Structure 1
Amino acid sequence: MPMLKLASHSLHYQLEGPPAAPALLLSNSLGTTLDMWKPQLAALSQRYRVLRYDVRGHGASTASAECRLADLAGDALSLLDALDIERAHFCGISMGGLTGLWLGAYAPERLQCLVVSNSAAKIGESEAWRQRAAQVRAEGMAELASSAHLRWFSADFCAKAPDTVEQARAWLASASPDGYAACCEALADADLRADLPRIATPTLLIAGSYDPVTTAAEAERMAAAMPKARLALLPASHLSNLEAPLAFEQALLEFLDAS
């Protein structure tokens, strides 16, 4: 199992695809793992050198006691450095998308292009994130995992794809409570709204028309604020690459291939 050891934690990653192909770094959402990208992996790895990783405290990556958004972005940069990747296409969902926005604002020289899916420059309310962090530290992940599908998928999808819903719940249930809480606290403090106008990296914003967490309206506001951003709206809720996998794959590949 490939692991990158850092000062406070270790990152589990997977690298697939032709060695000489352009690099594509994929960053998972809060509460999931690098396996969330499996629906797109076969198509992506034919054309790109795909680097997936478990965000700290998720999957097989170990947790740190605390972190900020800059630390999450630093993990992505550390992976690129360790694998001698100077520049990469980047795609992230939710927290992963916010990580990508930080890179676009503060490390644009490392990006070929940027895809920000089901995300926002400020996700949710700070106090709600701090309350969730306190909850999982006190009670663990089980209760939160039991209701995750209500935030992540539409009701119709939950009825049609129970196996996918259960897999997503399992990802969340397996997360480190301390690691998950630290990421919640990073989201509580993260606010890149003032940085959007200076993100000049070509950017695709993907939004789900049914997403109650990071709404299509928020994506539209980001697109209006960013100089080189365009918007794709998919018939999905918050984890759009799982709920609308083919539409997500098509939108992603069309943008990457043109970048």
Structure 2
Amino acid sequence: MPHLDVEGAQLYYETDSHISSPALLLIHAGIANLRMWDPQVPTLAENHFVIRFDTRGYGQTTTEDVEFSNRADALDLLDHLGIQKATLIGCARGGGIAIDLAVENPDRVAGLLTIGSGPSGFPETELTSEEDDLFDQLDAAFEAGDWNTLYDLEVRLWCIGPTRNEADLDPDFVAAAYELNRMNIAHVDDRPVPIPLEPPAYDRLVDIAVPTFVMVGEQDLSAALTQYEYLLSTIPGADGATFRDSAHIPSVERPDIFELLLTGWLARHKL
């Protein structure tokens, strides 16, 4: 399987379709890995060169405990594949990386789509009581070194959502969400140190000049909902969409609706 050697790491990546087609770079959430995009890849690959990779600390990528830049890793992969410009599609943490990359290297970005993401440098927001309780449980599991519980609690917080009952959701989605995060437990001892974008993207969003689509699940955390409104109101000409019955990863929970919105947006902007 393909790996790219970069400074202090081997990045695992996958590509689909032909390099002559418009490029899409898919960046996974912090509670998942590149497998989260499996439902969309066959359709996207009909008209695009689809690139996805596991960022450091996730999936099948291996890393040393070194300082690194998520933006540089993404650019190194594009350079390795001979791609000058790509449309970035990022979920949650992956969307934050995509925003940073669009701000820092606008010449490499054709379009930007984020899901449940916020820009670097976004001010902390006050938690709801339900969110505060779940974060306390996460902290307790971390202090106890109970990694299985910790990783499952992350799914409970982000994917199920602080106000929803797991038993009310599609069991196939629930199983997929837990599996996507459990695959990352193997990286629990990884300690790479990401180099932040300076200055952060928070005050630089007005400089984004490519077609942008901002998405969020209405059952996501309150911070993600606030960040969605900020992105939508600050990035010039940004489109927006909310998923009524979804939390942090609507592309996994509502794949058909997400795919319809994504492919329509790509076609409309000729990306």
Tell me by how many angstroms 1:140 deviates. 5.8
1:197 aligns with 2:206: yes
What does 1:68-107 correspond to in 2, within 5 Å?
A: 71-107=69-105
Tell me the equivalent position of 2:235.
Answer: 226
Displacement, 1:72? Answer: 0.8
2:199 and 2:183 mapped to 1: Cα distance?
A: 25
- Give the equivalent residue in structure 2 for 1:7: 7
Distance across 2 between alignment mates of 1:190 and 1:28: 24
Matches within 5 A, 1:106-145: 106-122=104-120, 125=124, 139=145, 141-145=147-151
> Which one of the candidate residues 130, 139, 159 is aligned to 1:152?
159
CA change 1:67–1:139 in 2 (3 A) is farther
More displaced stretch, 219-228 vs 149-158: 149-158
Once residues 238 and 166 of structure 2 are traced to their aligned partners in structure 1, the CA distance between those partners, rounded to angstroms, is 29
Q: Using a 3 Å threshold, how does the CA distance of structure 1 residues 149 and 142 change in structure 2: closer, same or farther?
A: same
Percent identity over the alignment?
27
Report deviation, 1:255. 1.3
Matched residue type, 2:39: P
- For 2:107 and 2:139, the matched residues in 1 are separated by 33
- C-alpha distance in 2 between matches for 1:190 and 1:150: 30
Name the SS for the 1:215 alignment partner: helix
Gaps of 5+ in 1: none
Q: Distance in 2 between matches of 1:119 and 1:141?
A: 25
**TM-score, structure 1 length as denominator?**
0.86
137-146 vs 58-67, greater mean Cα deviation:
137-146
Alignment partner, residue 211 of structure 1 = 220
State the Cα distance separating 1:190 from its structure 2 match.
9.3
Aligned pair in 2 of structure 1 residues 29, 124: CA closer, same or farther (>3 Å)? farther
Once the two structures are TM-superposed, the CA of residue 161 in structure 1 deviates from its matched residue by 2.5
> Do the aligned partners of 1:223 and 1:231 also contact (CA within 8 Å) in 2?
yes
For the residues of structure 1 that align with 2:180 and 2:39, how far apart are their CA atoms?
16
Cα distance in 2 for residues equivalent to 1:214 and 1:206: 14
Deviations 1:123-145 (A, max 9, x none): 6859x99xx79975972631212
Q: 2:261 aligns with which of 234, 248, 251?
A: 251
Q: 1: distance between equivalents of 2:148 and 2:199? A: 26
Q: CA deviation at 1:97?
A: 0.3
* Higher radius of gyration, 1 or 2: 2
Structure-2 change in CA distance of 1:140 and 1:88 (3 Å): farther
- After superposition, the Cα gap between the structure-2 partners of 1:53 and 1:124, relative to the gap in structure 1 and judged at 3 Å, is farther
- Greater share of residues in helix: 1
Instruction: State the number of aligned residues.
Output: 252
Q: Report the CA distance between 1:57 and its aligned residue.
A: 1.4
1:26-65 residue pairs with structure 2 within 5 A? Answer: 26-65=26-65
Aligned partner of 2:247 in structure 1 is: 237
Q: Distance in 2 between matches of 1:15 and 1:140?
A: 35
Deviation at 1:156, TM superposition (A): 5.8
Whole-angstrom distance in 2 between the partners of 1:100 and 1:33: 15
